Structure 1
Amino acid sequence: MSVIRFLGALITGLLAVVVLLMVLVLDTSPSISANASEQIADADTVKKLLAQIRRSINDRERGHVITVSEQQVESLVGFVQRAAPYIHGTSAIQPDHGTIEASVAVPALVTTLYLNLEIKVLPADELDIDYVQIGSLSLPGPFAVGLVESALNIYTDSEIGTQAKEQITRVAMTDTQVAVSLKPMDSFLMQLNEIRAGFDDERDELTKLTAYYLRYIAGREIALKKKPQPFNAYLNLIMARAREQSTQENVLQHNKAAVLALAIFIGHHRIANFVGDVQPDVEHALKPASSVLLRGRSDLSKHFIISAALKMLSEQDVTVAIGEFKELMDRGMGGSGYSFVDLTADLAGVEMARVLADPDTALRAQDTLAGTPDESIYMPEIDGLTEGLSKQEFTRRYEKVDSEAYLQEVEQIRARLARMPFYSREFAG
């Protein structure tokens, strides 16, 4: 009986600790409420940040300083909110500190609770977190950083957490921006690749199938032609192959792998980073010999298939938010401008992925896409859609991305998609 009493007391104590932690970290109301459509108004500024990050990766033998403005941070936070509406966040940068705040809605039995988070960062010759506040629980910064560092090291069986922390050699702040000095990225990136290779040692079925379909489509005669080729011809080929290889039991996995392979081949080879080691030669990524056209444009084929792949890998809101954010970035100097044509291709790609990922329509979708003579069954007409809008012109016409005028434009695109039989509910019947 003493053992039973001990176990009972232990379980009761553990439950009490769990309940206490929940009481401490969860609140009944959010600490902040931010408008994502206003936050992403300056999304075009993020291009400069991405360029800095690319330079630090490409020129990995040298140290770099990444300068991040408050506008850029707010834009990225706004993107997260558009992709995951249950998250709200904001940031502030001052000469003596910077803060990031977030509220995450957590569904409970009878109500919605909130995980409220605040992180305060100080300027220093290292990564210096003053504190991390989670609900009513306040953690000293060094302790919180140490927890994350140890968790990463243990999970990856490496020192990657420690290495990541030590990559930062200085953090400086002004009224509007923070400058983060980084060590040369070479050894850190090599360590990341080793960790990824370790995870890839146990290649799952999706990775194997994606590699198979990638090799298949790269080996077709069409991939070697020097003149631009229709996207539909590639889709016909890979869907016909998927139809031959799949059954009712594994059709969803084959469809997912086929779409991912096409996105890696036609869209961008870096999509493979979401899947694993699928290239026969990592130094020479497979790609078509000529451009691939959807509605007569190579950019639309990329938008369409990459959005389809992202939908296969994530939730629809995330995919749409990525497409929308990319268009907002394009409004700035040097960009192609905001394009509702590109957004149409994004949304159409999401819809195709939805049909291919639905057990009720997956097999029929294979048959349809394998035999369709042109793209009209899955990509709507683009006539009459606005594109090439600068930031100023976009703001003049639509103000922001939740304005009535903007939502009407998006609704017109969705209406075009809804009229297509391939995307209708009747297709499942």
Structure 2
Amino acid sequence: MKSIPDRILWLGCLLLALLMIAGLLAIEDTPQLKPRANLSPSQIAKVKRLLERNDPRRLRVGSVAQAVLGQEELDSALNYAANHYARGASRLMFEQGKARIQATLPLPWPRLGGFLNVQIELAETDSLPEIGALTVGRLVLPGFIVNGMLKSGLSMIPVAADWRQLVDMVKKVRFSTRRMVVTYTWRGDLQAQLGSALLSDDERGQLLFYQTRLAELTRTGRYTIGLTTLLNALFQSAAQRGEQADPVRENRAAIRVLAFYVTQKDLGQLIPASKHWPRPVWRRVVLQNRDDFTKHYLVSALLAADAGSPLANAVGLYKEIQDSRGGSGFSFSDLAADRAGTQMGNRAVASEQAARALQKLLAVAAEPDIMPETADLPEFMPEAEFKRRYGGLTGDAYQNMMAEIERRVAALAVSRE
């Protein structure tokens, strides 16, 4: 008869063998899906229309509503996330009564090679959908096992928001051909709940620090203030917070606070507790004597720091296309501000070394260090004139102009390693 230590050793070896077999079955040599292009301006326009159609903020608290979500828009957004966060690709398909999600994710160890080809089948229930099956490579897991593991895993995750209350908002999810219909009860504090859940205590503390510093900077002085004045002060503080601080998170927090400030957005939408934080006095913040450049620059920096440069680029281009159709007109100057801001946001979070180098630069930077010359760049062009002069987004003249903007941005001090 085997002793207890022998049994434990035997069970450990068996578990290790099962994990190795599962790994061999899950990892494949070839990708099932090939990466697709990142979000284009037209796709962003479709996602924007989808959000506008289903904006619940006009609803009364407690009212029941339905959101109709198209397959194409959700598929584009999901594929962007897979591409940006995991260098992979995804595909989303809705059918009557079920949904299928496919994804190809390269292993995070490039030298080993290999891919995880994943397929998740979701089935309708009387309320939230459940996983019918999960396939990873040649490994197939039945739904009851996956659902049990998922529920156990979620219950163990410590978050600031009450996820049970958020989940209870959703009453039913129905799948049909190329669309999903979500029936829910609207709660007015949803945005604040999600904001609290997505930010750690450390991140909220960093935002409070830079919000307080910004309030000090704007308490006195002229109505108009240069962007570099605020950047100098906030990033001097970031550099002074020392080696114990994570420079990437510090940079991201400073950019978030500045972007919310110049666009006159309330941080309380993201963090309810911030309503009690020091309030900055509103000033007109300018870059090259223009406050629209400041907004372009910082929103693009925020998108790059939080979501990645492909999205920031596409959002900037989308706005210029919309402006050319009845707004202020297509502007290569605005695109230059977008690209410069995106470059700054990229550098801010690229690595600890890059983040600290950027802190030192922005602590003393002047405008020519962060923003290219734009006086000679065409702007205020209606759509018809833009197409006539530059051949649209595929024209050689447009491509040449964008190459010139990229050259100018690459020459900035903020772009140098």
In 2: Cα distance, 1:79 partner to 1:389 partner: 30
Mean CA deviation greater in 251-260 or 25-34: 251-260
Counterpart code for 1:15:
L
The residue that corresponds to 2:310 in the other structure is 321
Percent of matched pairs sharing the same residue: 20
- Residue 8 of structure 1 corresponds to 9
Aligned residues: 407
Matches within 5 A, 1:353-364: 353=345
SS of 1:21 mapped into structure 2: helix
CA distance in 2, matches of 1:96, 1:251: 46
Tell me if 1:281 matches 2:276.
Answer: yes
Partner in structure 2 of residue 211 of structure 1? 208
Q: Which amino acid aligns with 2:228?
A: N
Deviations, residues 317-368 of structure 1 (Å, cap 9, x unaligned) = x421221342365446787787654443343234335656676677775565
Contact 1:323–1:343 (CA under 8 A) maintained in structure 2: no
SS in 2 for 1:68: strand
Of 149, 152, 177, the match for 1:150: 152
CA shift at 1:113, angstroms? 1.7
Q: What does 1:146-185 align with in structure 2 at a 5 Å threshold? A: 146-156=148-158, 160=162, 163-185=165-187
User: In the alignment, is residue 42 of structure 1 matched against residue 43 of structure 2?
Assistant: yes
Cα deviations by residue, 1:340-398 (Å, 9 ceiling, x for unpaired): 544433432343356566766777755654444x5222111234266878699699733
Q: TM-score, normalised by structure 1?
A: 0.74
Q: What amino acid is the match of 2:75? A: E
Q: Does 1:30 align with 2:50?
A: no
Amino acid at match of 1:286: R
Deviations 1:102-132 (A, max 9, x none): 1111145754222222233445542234433
The correspondence for 1:230, drawn from 223, 226, 231, is: 226
Residue 119 of structure 1 is matched in structure 2 by 120
Match of 2:337 among 340, 345, 348: 345
Compare 207-216 and 390-399 and name the one that shifted more.
390-399
* Aligned match of 2:19: 18
Q: For residue 416 of structure 1, report the CA deviation from its aligned partner.
A: 0.9
Answer whether contact 1:102 1:117 (CA < 8 A) is retained.
yes
Q: Secondary structure of 2:214's partner?
A: helix
Note the 1:256-335 alignment, pairs <5 A.
257-267=253-263, 269=265, 279=274, 281=276, 286-309=279-302, 311-312=304-305, 318-327=307-316, 329-330=318-319, 331=321
- Contact in 2 for aligned 1:339/1:386 (Cα 8 Å): yes
Superposed counterparts of 1:131-142, under 5 Å: 131-141=133-143
Q: Which letter maps to 1:262?
A: L
* Residue 376, structure 1, aligned to residue 368, structure 2: yes
Letter in 2 for 1:13: L
CA distance, structure 2, for counterparts of residue 419 and residue 387 of structure 1: 25
The whole-number CA distance in structure 1 between the counterparts of 2:59 and 2:100 is 30
1:156–1:98: structure 2 CA closer, same or farther, 3 Å change rule? same
For residues 255 and 271 of structure 1, the distance between their equivalents in structure 2, rounded to whole angstroms, comes to: 17
Asked if the contact 1:148–1:161 (Cα under 8 Å) also holds between the matched residues in 2, the reply is no
**Given the superposition, is the C-alpha separation of residues 249 and 163 from structure 1 closer, same or farther in structure 2, using an over 3 Å criterion?**
closer
- Which position in structure 2 is the counterpart of 1:423? 415
Q: 1:152 to 1:76 in 2, by over 3 A?
A: same
Residue identity opposite 1:55 in structure 2: P
Q: 1:38 to 1:214 in 2, by over 3 A?
A: closer
CA distance in 1, matches of 2:108, 2:85: 14
SS where residue 220 of structure 1 aligns?
helix
Give 1:179 shift: 1.8
Distance 2:73 2:404 in 1: 30
Could you list the runs of 5+ residues in structure 2 that have no partner in the other structure? none
User: Secondary structure at the residue paired with 1:112?
Assistant: coil
CA 259–229 in structure 1, closer or farther in 2 if over 3 Å, else same: same
- Which one is further off, 255-264 or 291-300? 255-264
Q: Report deviation, 1:166.
A: 4.2
Q: Is the 8 A contact 2:216 2:280 kept in 1?
A: no
Alignment check: 8 A CA contact 2:251 2:348 kept:
yes
CA separation in 2, counterparts of 1:71 and 1:131?
23
**One-letter code of the match for 1:304?**
Y
Change (3 A) 1:131 1:387: farther
For the pair 1:87 / 2:88, whether they are aligned, the reply is yes
TM-score, normalised by the number of residues in structure 2:
0.76
Relative distance call for 1:323 and 1:135 in structure 2 (3 A) is same
Label 1:406 to 1:154 Cα distance change in 2 as closer, same or farther (>3 A): farther
* Secondary structure of 1:292 counterpart: strand
